Structure formats: structure tokens, C-alpha cells
Structure 1
Amino acid sequence: MERVTECLDLLEDYMSRHPTIYEVEKLNFLGAGAKDVYNCTAPFCDEGRQLIAARVESRESEEAHVGFFEQTAEGWRLIPDLPFFPLQDPFVTRIDGQLLFGGVWVKRAANGDSQWRTLFYQGASIRMLKPYFWGPIGMKDLRLAQLPNGQILVLTRPQGRKGGRGKIGYLVLASLNELTLDKIADAPLLEGHFAEAEWGGANEVHPLKNGTAGVLGHIAYFDAQGNRHYYSMVFALDPLTGRHTPVKIIAVRKDFLDGPAKRTDLRDVVFSGGAIRHKESGVMELYAGTSDAEAQRIVIDDPFLDEEQNE
């Protein structure tokens, strides 16, 4: 079994690298009233418009929905005639030319217990999205991505007997039609990423030109007072062999602008939403939720460049 580097050691390594922050800004969302808008995707194109999908909810609640916001001169404005989805933490990708959209669906019982699962919708555009696949009960951060050879990389995140507080598993499918709950349940875990009391998950996949998959995700732990600490991280995975690089933190809360938190235990939270790589300049725009209350954009050195140069 590979040696596991604990989150605090990864944080110390990050601080020792003194990463450069080129730009940082809070995203200005319009049309959502007094509700918080956070944990957004990176911008993507839909019917000729630049959009962001984001989690929308009241500060005192976790009853969320996902709205779609269009870029304007004033900020990102909610498009009220696009569908709203009763989900948390949205994500988008394209597979076989179709938009694949999803998020976490949560069902709360009267006694306070909750069930959750990752739901997927598919269509030519947001207006055409139809239910496609329901992930296993109890699994967040289930992600699909199409590789350059057409195969489908599936990243899982089981919890409990397999996965503890949350570890990443993977499998590769010849096509999306092969996706089943059984295959997700049987996906092997990537060893060496998260210490036993810590957890993490994948948020987005970036196929790299050397054939590996660059994974953008998050790593997290509880401190002794029960506060949550979330950091943006990356690693590279070879889908053919399962070999992968160690987790590397790429952004922490203090890299972003100060702002409110949903609760005091969520002050030190950065939740990776998505990223845009600018290969010509060697930087990456990272879009992330901060403190479960806001969304921000930060520009950093592209953490996948070094991996792409490894043949």
C-alpha cells in the first residue's frame, strides 16, 4: 500500500512552494435575490452563450437548487426561463457531443436523517436535458469524462465500509451505455491519497496530451474542534494502468478574498468547481466555492503542465 501523506503535510508543502496568485475576484451573481450563490462550475458554452451553473440557497438553509447564470457586463445574471434543478454542487461535461449535467440530490427525513446520490442529466443543451442516470445512494462526487480515445473515465467516491469518509475509485468504460450501479460499486480505490480520518473527491477531469487524466478535486479533514478544512487539489491518473501521482494542494481559503461563511465551522472551505486551462500562457482559472457562501475565481500557474510534459 502506498504511503498516505496527511492533509497538514500537504498544506505545509503548498505553503513552502509560495505559489503565485495572478488574479482573484468574487463572482457577482445577479437575479438570485438575497440567496447565496456558490459552488459553481467553470464557464461553459450553451446555445452560443457563456453560462455558469451554481448552487443557490438561503444562508440558514441547505435546501438548494441549481440555477444557470449568463455572463453580462454587470456580472453573471440568472436566466429565469432555464430549468432549475433541486440539486447541490453542479458539474458539466460533454460526452459524444451531448451535454452531461449533474449534481447531488438530497432527501431529508422528518427525523433529520438524509440520503443523497449523484444525478445525471443529458441533452443537446440545457433546455433539452433529460434524466439519464442515478448514482448509488450515499455517493457524492461521482464524475464521468470522455477520454480522447472515446472511452469513458468514471471517478467514484464511496463512503463507509469501502472508502471510510470518502475515497476516490475509478473505472474505464468503452461507452456510456456500459455504466451500471454494480460497476460503480466494484470500482477499485486509488490507494495513497487520503488518510483514514480525512476525505476527498473529484470535481472535474481534464484529459492531458500525454494520455493521462488531470483530476481537479478537493481534500478535507476535521480539526479537533470539529471545524471543516477543505482545499483544492489535483493529481494525474493513467486510465490504462491505474497509476497516479500524489495529491497536490493548489489553492487554500486565504488565497481568496475575505467574505462571509455559512457557519463558523465552514470558514476554511474551498470547494473546487471547475477550471479553464490557458495553455498559451501557462495559467489556469480556478472557479471555486468559498466558505459555503460565495463563489470566486482565481488565476494560478497551471498545475497540469508539468504532468503533460511527462511522456
Structure 2
Amino acid sequence: MRLEKTGIKSSAKLLKEFENAPQPINPQKLIFKGVGNRDVYNISAPFLDDGELVIAGRVEPRNSEHSEVYFFVNRDGKWIPKEGAPKFQLQDPFVTRIGGDLVFGGVEIFPHPTFKSSLWWRTLFYKGKNIADLEKFAKGPEGMKDIRVIELKDGSIGVLTRPQGEKGGLGKIGFIRIPTLDDLNPENLEKATLLEGQFTDEEWGGANELHLLSNGLIGVLGHIASKDEQGNRHYYPMVFVLDPDTMKFSDMELIATRSHFLKGAAKRPDLVNVVFSGGLIRKGDGTADLYVGTSDAEAQKITIADPFVKYEK
């Protein structure tokens, strides 16, 4: 399938197009235990660690943004902390596998160097043979979230970035190809080429998880977001496909909205309409399970039509 970009589409236009697409079904809340009265949200999709399925999740008090990432295993339908697993002072975890290693990361927050009482952030990366073996090996530029990595067919590494400010406005997606994970550093990531024509200047977005498709294309699970006049935030899970050789990419498509998921708690009133993509499990039967954080307070999964199948034909 050729990658045809037809121009910038606002989230409102994407919502309108999504009305005619197959709709998600079977929403379920994931139940987490063993973390006191804290919330678990913005989870990864389940991944194998030493033969057992594990979910990484952001664990946080309702009235705070100071979070930890825990690793959870399923026991009798509930997710509990994996015994002996490390915990990390990070937000919004992500995982992938590169060269046989588990690569894990998240967002570290710290006091802003110049603006007192403000926070600043950076993405940290860890790798190891398994969770117990994880060691920090890289970091992203200060002020950059939503950096994701993937091993490409030739063994090189594709990296999606999310600059803000002079280069990226409120937040746009960039791409760079690096030879190995040893080249994952702030200097290289700042050189990433912006994927022009994805977001209006009033909206922003980022990548959450990358999938190597059977033909070598990169399937991107991400989010597009905006803020309305009342200050409420609106986050939608989206996908697009990128050719790492030509830098051509498809239009974004929405794959779910908050209304498709079960009603539940919200961290704040302005975060009710937030769905933060976590991960996608492609099931091989034309469907996929989408794992998300909802309203910055809960974790849910839902079944969608596999959004990448058509690009593999």
C-alpha cells in the first residue's frame, strides 16, 4: 500500500472520519492491587519477561505527579507488583526489544533549572536481558518526552522524537535513524527530521509504541491532543505508518475515543477526555488489543480492528 499524505488534519477532522471506521468493542478495566490507594495508569501493553506476561504501569497518588513505575504480573485476574522487580522514579513507561535485549524507558521529572517552582523532564532508557537486569544506558534531550526506538530490518535503530518550542511548537514528531543504541544521545536526537504536516499549531502529539511491520515499515501508535477554551485537555489514540527509507508517512487515523471505554475516575476535571496510548497487541486475526491510560487515573484495554494490516498487503 502506498503511503499517501493528504495534508494536516485536526483532531476534529480525524474524529469526523473515525465515525465511519470500525468501532472498538469490549472495553475492560484492568484491576491493580498492592500499591496502596494510588492510581495505576499509562501502562505498557503486556510483554514477556522470563516467560511470564508483565505490564509496566505508572503508579501515582491522585493529587500528585510524582510517580513510580512498577512491573505487574497477573494473579487470578488482578495485576499485582512482580516480586523482587525494580521500581523506577519515572512516568509513562514503554518497552521494546532490540538485539535480544529488553529496552525500557520512561520520563524523569526534576526541578526546572531556571523557572522556580516549575518542573522539567527528560526521557531515560534502560536495557538488560530481563527486568531484573535493567541498567540505564541513555537519556534524551532535556524537555523531550515521547521518544521511542525500534530495531529495523537491517539492524539499525529507528527513533521517533517529540521536540517542542522553536522546532516543534507544542509538540511534533521527528524521525532519525541511528546505527546502534550506542548512538542514542541528546545530540543525535536533536538532529531528527520533523515529519512535516501532521499537527496544526494549536494541537500536539507524540509516539507511544512502534511496531515493525512485515514489509519493514514502522507502524506508529501515538496520540494527538488539544486544549479547549475552558482549558480541558483532549487526548486521542492515533496511528500512522512511516517508511524509514523514504521518510514518507501515511495520514493519521484515530482508533478510539474516551467514550468507547468504561466510565471512571479522573485525576482532575480537565483530564476527563484523556486517552493515553500505552501499547498494542496484534492478534493475527485482523484485530488488536489496545492498552491505554484513561483520564490520568485508570488503565483499560479494548479490542480494535488491527490498524496496520492494510499496510502489509
Same fold, TM-score > 0.5, yes or no = yes
Deviation at 1:191, TM superposition (A): 1.0
Name which of structure 1's ranges 292-301 and 141-150 shifts more when overlaid on structure 2: 141-150
Deviation at 1:285, TM superposition (A): 0.4
Asked if the contact 1:272/1:287 (under 8 Å) is kept, the reply is yes
CA offsets 1:69-103 (integer angstroms, 9 cap, x no match): 00121311112521110000000001100010000
Q: What is the alpha-carbon distance in structure 2 between the residues aligned to residue 142 and residue 166 of structure 1?
A: 12
Alignment pair present for 1:103 and 2:106: yes
Q: 1:79 aligns with which of 75, 79, 82?
A: 82
Q: 1:55 aligns with which of 58, 62, 74?
A: 58
Within-5 A mapping of 1:178-197: 178-197=183-202
CA 2–23 in structure 1, closer or farther in 2 if over 3 Å, else same:
closer
Q: What is the alpha-carbon distance in structure 1 between the residues aligned to residue 190 and residue 178 of structure 2?
A: 14
CA offsets 1:173-194 (integer angstroms, 9 cap, x no match): 2222222322210111001111
CA offsets 1:169-221 (integer angstroms, 9 cap, x no match): 00112222222322210111001111111000000011111221100000000
Q: Secondary structure at the match of 1:186?
A: coil
Q: Secondary structure at the match of 2:104?
A: strand
Asked if the contact 1:28/1:76 (under 8 Å) is kept, the reply is yes
Q: Secondary structure at the match of 2:206?
A: strand
CA offsets 1:79-130 (integer angstroms, 9 cap, x no match): 2521110000000001100010000000135932111000001111111111
Alignment pair present for 1:27 and 2:30: yes
Asked if the contact 2:25/2:260 (under 8 Å) is kept, the reply is no
CA 284–208 in structure 1, closer or farther in 2 if over 3 Å, else same:
same
Q: What is the alpha-carbon distance in structure 1 between the residues aligned to residue 24 and residue 261 of structure 2?
A: 9
CA offsets 1:222-245 (integer angstroms, 9 cap, x no match): 011110000000000000010000
The residue number in structure 2 matching 1:144 is 149
Asked if the contact 1:213/1:236 (under 8 Å) is kept, the reply is yes
Name which of structure 1's ranges 143-152 and 229-238 shifts more when overlaid on structure 2: 143-152
Asked if the contact 1:2/1:191 (under 8 Å) is kept, the reply is no
Q: What is the alpha-carbon distance in structure 1 between the residues aligned to residue 262 and residue 14 of structure 2?
A: 22
Alignment pair present for 1:165 and 2:173: no
Within-5 A mapping of 1:89-100: 89-100=92-103
Q: What is the alpha-carbon distance in structure 1 between the residues aligned to residue 107 and residue 280 of structure 2?
A: 19
Asked if the contact 1:192/1:246 (under 8 Å) is kept, the reply is no
CA offsets 1:222-277 (integer angstroms, 9 cap, x no match): 01111000000000000001000011110110010000100000000000000100
TM-score where L is the length of structure 2: 0.95
Deviation at 1:147, TM superposition (A): 1.4
The residue number in structure 1 matching 2:203 is 198
Asked if the contact 2:289/2:301 (under 8 Å) is kept, the reply is yes
Number of aligned pairs? 307
Q: What is the alpha-carbon distance in structure 1 between the residues aligned to residue 6 and residue 20 of structure 2?
A: 23
Q: Secondary structure at the match of 1:246?
A: coil
Q: What is the alpha-carbon distance in structure 2 between the residues aligned to residue 180 and residue 205 of structure 1?
A: 19
Q: Secondary structure at the match of 2:301?
A: strand
Instruction: Kindly provide the amino acid, as one letter, of the partner of residue 5 in structure 1.
Output: K
- CA RMSD in angstroms comes to 1.3
Instruction: Kindly provide the amino acid, as one letter, of the partner of residue 9 in structure 1.
Output: K
Instruction: Kindly provide the amino acid, as one letter, of the partner of residue 122 in structure 2.
Output: R
Q: 2:12 aligns with which of 4, 8, 14?
A: 8
Instruction: Kindly provide the amino acid, as one letter, of the partner of residue 55 in structure 1.
Output: R
Q: Secondary structure at the match of 2:280?
A: strand
CA offsets 1:121-172 (integer angstroms, 9 cap, x no match): 1111111111110110000001111112211100000000000000000011
Q: 1:126 aligns with which of 106, 119, 131?
A: 131
Instruction: Kindly provide the amino acid, as one letter, of the partner of residue 78 in structure 1.
Output: P
Q: What is the alpha-carbon distance in structure 2 between the residues aligned to residue 307 and residue 127 of structure 1?
A: 36
Q: What is the alpha-carbon distance in structure 2 between the residues aligned to residue 78 and residue 232 of structure 1?
A: 27
Unmatched runs of 5 consecutive residues or more in structure 2: none
Q: What is the alpha-carbon distance in structure 2 between the residues aligned to residue 11 and residue 151 of structure 1?
A: 35
Instruction: Kindly provide the amino acid, as one letter, of the partner of residue 285 in structure 1.
Output: D
The residue number in structure 2 matching 1:300 is 304
Deviation at 1:50, TM superposition (A): 0.8
The residue number in structure 2 matching 1:257 is 262
Q: Secondary structure at the match of 1:127?
A: helix
Asked if the contact 2:221/2:277 (under 8 Å) is kept, the reply is yes
Alignment pair present for 1:284 and 2:256: no
Q: Secondary structure at the match of 1:77?
A: strand
Q: What is the alpha-carbon distance in structure 2 between the residues aligned to residue 28 and residue 63 of structure 1?
A: 21
Asked if the contact 1:104/1:116 (under 8 Å) is kept, the reply is yes
Q: 2:248 aligns with which of 219, 243, 251?
A: 243
TM-score where L is the length of structure 1: 0.96
Asked if the contact 1:231/1:269 (under 8 Å) is kept, the reply is yes
